């Protein structure tokens, strides 16, 4: 990819300033990350107080490394960071991630240091992520500047969802959650004080990135100077891939809290809603539905319409799924008469062939396949929610293969809703590994389907306007 952000994500050579053998030091953890087999480049420890780090010769400063350096990661106190930036300038380093805190966020002295960093970056052309950030976690290239110990924060595997966050704590929590749930990620970026690289640079980069299929962003506010540019960039990106924004500071008090947290102008929620809508951005309520929508968008085809078929083995959950769909503006049309007749002949008399199709508690996986096969192919339903309560004894895990076959056959989106304990968790994991999102409540399943409908509309609108 032709971008000056490329050295952040795909460096051949990395210098870690503050690298040490101590497992508890930030620089120590980060340097170790670059020694893992996932990272294919070369990492150089920069530490004037030692001859080597873990047996690898150490250099006094970045400019002392004989080879060219693509990326420098800085994890030393704020006071000496401008000095290191000047050294990077001398060396011709392309990109710098400043993990260290102690800048703008701590007061005027820190702001002065940060301005020095900005000045050097501007004159030298060095791109800077941070300061005061967790940096990058990239499952494609093995770049990992997250410094939290593995005992506290799990590292997720490869996926196609990328996450951008000003908040480092959020990035860490999201990585940790996804590691446990098995949802992979592509590139996760915490950009902290955004002295240089900001959300516009990042959505432009990820917009062109073939390893990113969905972008999720945690955002507190846009600044007056960059807001319009952000929305214009987003509008271009959302024609190609979805952007889901988790917007904090929606309320008056929340907006004040955001100002105190990152200095963000969280502003009027309705203005943001309008602007995001214009830019084709999907708005999440929080990171939970944000990532659940992203999971659906990363695994399922988008929907050509909002007509939802619901198939269930639990009548009550079927009713709640109808409610949830209707409340999101989705349509739950009645089953066509001729198809009802076919289903009546296929199923016992106590099954309901109205939408939601109620297969009842003695169903097996085959009834799901029959109902979906009869109905999802016709131009009457655009997408389906399969409510699969796995406590019932005749339903076996071949439900997974049968649902996958239906999605393949009709290329219409399907998500599952399944709630329960150990057996259900096993079934849900199998569904997700097969690419079918499994959500634990009707409302969350409906929201995932809604995202597939919504992004279908966004793409359709973008297509119409290009014509």
Binding region for a copy of itself (CB under 8 A) out of 135-143, 368-376, 419-427, 454-462: 419-427
- Nearer residue to a copy of itself within complex by CB, 156 or 413: 156
- Nearer residue to a copy of itself within complex by CB, 314 or 431: 314
Under rule CB under 8 A, which residues in 55-74 are in contact with a copy of itself? none
Q: Is 132 left (phi over 0), alpha (psi -120 to 50) or beta?
A: left
- Nearer residue to a copy of itself within complex by CB, 42 or 441: 441
Q: Which residues contact 363 (CB under 8 A, 6 or more apart)?
A: 313, 351, 392, 394, 395
| Residue 154 interacting with a copy of itself (CB under 8 A) | yes
From the CB of 230, what's the least distance to a copy of itself, in Å? 18
| Residue 327 interacting with a copy of itself (CB under 8 A) | yes
- Nearer residue to a copy of itself within complex by CB, 300 or 335: 335
From the CB of 116, what's the least distance to a copy of itself, in Å? 19
Which residue from 22, 40, 158, 354 is in contact with a copy of itself, where contact means CB under 8 A?
354
Which residue from 137, 287, 381, 450 is in contact with a copy of itself, where contact means CB under 8 A?
287
Instruction: Indicate the Cα dihedral angle 233, 238, 244, 247, nearest 10°.
Output: 40
Which residue from 420, 430, 457, 462 is in contact with a copy of itself, where contact means CB under 8 A?
420
| Residue 440 interacting with a copy of itself (CB under 8 A) | yes
From the CB of 409, what's the least distance to a copy of itself, in Å? 26
Which residue from 27, 130, 437, 442 is in contact with a copy of itself, where contact means CB under 8 A?
442
Binding region for a copy of itself (CB under 8 A) out of 11-19, 137-145, 260-268, 272-280: 260-268
Binding region for a copy of itself (CB under 8 A) out of 57-65, 78-86, 135-143, 387-395: 387-395
Q: How far apart are CA 211 and CA 199, in angstroms?
A: 18
417 to each of 206, 238, 356, 375, how far by Cα in Å? 30, 27, 13, 19
Which residue from 69, 332, 374, 407 is in contact with a copy of itself, where contact means CB under 8 A?
332
| Residue 267 interacting with a copy of itself (CB under 8 A) | no
Q: How many residues bind a copy of itself (CB under 8 A)?
A: 83
From the CB of 111, what's the least distance to a copy of itself, in Å? 12
Which residue from 35, 54, 56, 180 is in contact with a copy of itself, where contact means CB under 8 A?
180
| Residue 389 interacting with a copy of itself (CB under 8 A) | yes
Q: How far apart are CA 340 and CA 62, in angstroms?
A: 73
| Residue 358 interacting with a copy of itself (CB under 8 A) | yes
| Residue 268 interacting with a copy of itself (CB under 8 A) | no
Binding region for a copy of itself (CB under 8 A) out of 11-19, 53-61, 89-97, 309-317: 309-317
| Residue 23 interacting with a copy of itself (CB under 8 A) | no
| Residue 168 interacting with a copy of itself (CB under 8 A) | yes
From the CB of 240, what's the least distance to a copy of itself, in Å? 27
Under rule CB under 8 A, which residues in 359-378 are in contact with a copy of itself? 361
- Nearer residue to a copy of itself within complex by CB, 138 or 313: 313
Side-by-side strand order, sheet with 243-247: 135-138, 187-190, 161-165, 214-219, 243-247, 282-284
| Residue 314 interacting with a copy of itself (CB under 8 A) | yes
Which residue from 111, 231, 319, 346 is in contact with a copy of itself, where contact means CB under 8 A?
319
| Residue 397 interacting with a copy of itself (CB under 8 A) | no
| Residue 441 interacting with a copy of itself (CB under 8 A) | yes
Under rule CB under 8 A, which residues in 93-122 are in contact with a copy of itself? 101, 105-107
From the CB of 247, what's the least distance to a copy of itself, in Å? 9
157 to each of 27, 134, 191, 283, 402, how far by Cα in Å? 23, 18, 21, 26, 26
Nearest to 264 by CA among 171, 128, 166: 166
Under rule CB under 8 A, which residues in 215-254 are in contact with a copy of itself? 218, 220, 246, 248-254
């Amino acid at each position: 990819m032709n971008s000056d952000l490329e050295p952040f994500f795909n460096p051949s050579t990395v210098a870690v300033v503050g690298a040490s053998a101590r497992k508890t030091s930030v620089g120590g953890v980060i340097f170790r990350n670059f020694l893992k087999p996932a990272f294919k480049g070369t990492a150089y420890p920069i530490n004037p107080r030692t001859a080597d780090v873990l047996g690898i010769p150490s250099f006094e400063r970045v400019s002392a490394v004989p080879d060219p350096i693509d990326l420098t990661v800085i994890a030393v106190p704020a006071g000496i960071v401008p000095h290191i930036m000047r050294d990077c300038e001398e060396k011709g380093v392309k990109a710098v991630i400043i993990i260290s805190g102690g800048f703008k966020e701590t007061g005027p002295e820190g702001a002065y240091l940060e301005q020095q960093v900005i000045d050097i970056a501007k004159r030298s052309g060095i791109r800077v992520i941070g300061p005061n950030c967790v940096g990058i976690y990239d499952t494609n290239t093995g770049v990992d500047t997250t410094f939290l110990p593995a005992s506290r924060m799990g590292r997720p595997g490869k996926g196609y969802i990328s996450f951008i966050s000003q908040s480092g704590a959020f990035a860490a929590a999201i990585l940790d959650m996804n590691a446990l749930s098995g949802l992979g990620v592509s590139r996760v970026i915490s950009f902290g004080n955004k002295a240089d690289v900001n959300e516009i640079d990042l959505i432009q980069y990820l917009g062109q990135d073939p390893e990113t299929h969905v972008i999720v962003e945690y955002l507190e506010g846009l600044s007056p100077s960059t807001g319009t540019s952000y929305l214009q960039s987003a509008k271009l990106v959302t024609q190609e891939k979805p952007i889901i924004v988790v917007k904090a500071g929606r309320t008056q008090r929340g907006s004040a809290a955001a100002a105190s947290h990152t200095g963000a102008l969280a502003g009027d929620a309705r203005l943001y809603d309008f602007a995001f809508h214009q830019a084709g951005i999907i708005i999440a309520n929080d990171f939970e539905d944000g990532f659940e929508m992203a999971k659906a968008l990363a695994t399922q085809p988008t929907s050509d319409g909002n007509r939802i078929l619901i198939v269930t083995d639990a009548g009550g959950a079927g009713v709640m799924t109808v409610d949830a769909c209707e409340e999101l503006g989705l349509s739950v049309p009645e089953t066509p008469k001729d198809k009802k007749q076919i289903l009546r002949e296929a199923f016992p008399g106590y099954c309901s062939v109205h939408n939601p199709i109620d297969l009842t508690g003695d169903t097996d996986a085959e009834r799901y396949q029959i109902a979906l096969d009869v109905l999802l192919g016709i131009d009457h339903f655009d997408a389906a929610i399969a409510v699969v309560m796995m406590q019932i004894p005749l339903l076996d895990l071949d439900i997974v293969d049968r649902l996958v076959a239906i999605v393949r056959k009709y290329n219409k989106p399907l998500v599952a809703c399944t709630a329960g304990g150990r057996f259900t968790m096993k079934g849900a994991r199998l569904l997700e590994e097969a690419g079918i999102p499994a959500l634990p409540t009707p409302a969350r399943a409906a929201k995932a389907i809604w995202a597939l409908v919504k992004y279908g509309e966004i793409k359709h609108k973008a297509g119409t306007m290009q014509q």
